[in-house]
Structure 1
């Protein structure tokens, strides 16, 4: 999507705030003993009260309002009876639609006590996302985002999941210009258009390189291959002359 009017931008900011508020509510309730289903219900309630609809449910008939992935799970974890334990690494991914526009965001949380390496992974996952966001400017190559994240990951001795990409968003959950690599990709030759709306969401890992199906009976949940703890941090942004505008903030 290319933002063309102030009204579109305000609508995008509105659904972005709602996603951020839902994520914050879920993160605030995250503790040992709570189930992923209970966390999902919290997010669903925030969305419903704001008049928003779950994007994965609307788009894919996903069996949850949000995606919640724990430990070995990298993405698209289905909320259910799994009980959060001390030491778990939990990713919360919230995307939603209101007034015809979509926003998407995610963050990973370490449930204490955790090893220092996991704390560092969370810290650096967030830094990797912001490294990618800072590379955004109209007219620049889209590849600048993945190149910047790749340099950060290599310098800090992490790997990147290379088959889960950022993506355009706006009038649909996955909008033009399609997938955007958050790793170095020499085949990426497109440029960032002014007003382009998309996510920046690197998957930083302690060794993982791809995401694969967890179980043949589970068409959604993805795990790391090779197995390794992985974090994801994500914002929806708009590329403007003044720099990237992050719309998924609680306000």
Structure 2
């Protein structure tokens, strides 16, 4: 919060230039031992255990059922998981914990899967998260791309908005940013002036003089009739 040192805005700019960490099946002890601990050094909750228990409380099917939903073959044995979970020690631990391959909890096995090319998650989690976002979009009657929400010109302006533009507009002393913020600055994604990053033109929402005149005439006639 020290604005003299750059404040939160400098942290945002730093994050845009920092590579993300790789994802693996391990969860830091701060989440498995000290979640919501008060005081901080006391024993807290275990996020992994909570996630597994939530799945059981809600009656989620086992990992194998979700594999089938996502187009993967149903595993008949723990060795059948080798393509998605290539680490033999991980499969051995799953076999030790669960009496049958159908009993594996989704969270435990989903986190253990090898990441898909170009992604952080394995095929099952990638499939489920993608489906979830698709259904949320389809089920939202206010989704901006639905018919009747905006005109084609307005949609064109909305689609100009990028995270780079948002950061330029809402942080102090940010004069440049790479166009693809989630990718590191580099030869194909160099930092450019904020002035060169497309910006929404709000005039697309300005009522035309003709429409305004028609509305004014309507209300003039309407209220004039009431007075009469």
TM-score range, shorter chain: under 0.3
Length-normalised TM-score, structure 2 = 0.24
Kindly indicate whether structure 1 or structure 2 has the higher relative contact order, using CA contacts under 8 Å at least 6 residues apart.
1
Larger relative strand fraction: 1
Bigger radius of gyration, 1 or 2? 2
Length-normalised TM-score, structure 1 = 0.22
